[in-house]
Structure 1
Amino acid sequence: MIQIDQNLLETRLDRLIAEKVAELLNAMLDAEADEIANAAKYERTGERKAYRAGHYDRSLTAKAGRLALKVPKLKGAVFESAVIERYRRREESVEEALIDMYLAGVSTRQVDDISQL
């Protein structure tokens, strides 16, 4: 007989999903930086418009959880991402859900209890 700890399974699954979403977003940010610079990281080309200047860490709260992102910095161009807005700290669906809960008359205690899950 096999016993499965449901909470442990969900926790590991949530963590795996958050890691994969963060990896995907970081790859998309790198691809955007390559497109703006007109060259890949460490690529030598005459058509290069900007150079990589490291990255800065940023967190984003999404359905998958808190994501750790590495936003590229460019020298010679401004990096503006279409993936995430500049000052956005939460995914829009979270904000929309909070607004919907408020309009539906859900108490802040219930919202706090739900968000802790």
Structure 2
Amino acid sequence: MPSNKVKQVALMLKAIHSQESLEAAREKAGRVTEQLRAIRLGKAAEWVEQHIDKTLSYYCYPQNRWTRITINNPLERIMREIRRRTRIVRVFP
């Protein structure tokens, strides 16, 4: 079960990526890095600062394509399939 801090960081990252525009997402990323440093997660804050532009690259495409970009991600597809199968089985063999 994830710890409270892990859940908190996940919510922060989702908040960055749910912004309406690239500028708003970058502003939110700045606020998130400040929050991460405030809760003593300096390495996570550094990682966000260094890699956030890579994760926000989908903003360069029209908004109606954003969902297709995430759906076509092979890693996400694999993880979704694993989740689907484990929900049916409920236990790993």
TM range (shorter): under 0.3
TM-score normalized with structure 2 length: 0.26
- Select the structure with the greater relative contact order (CA < 8 A; seq sep ≥ 6): 1
Q: Which has the larger radius of gyration?
A: 1
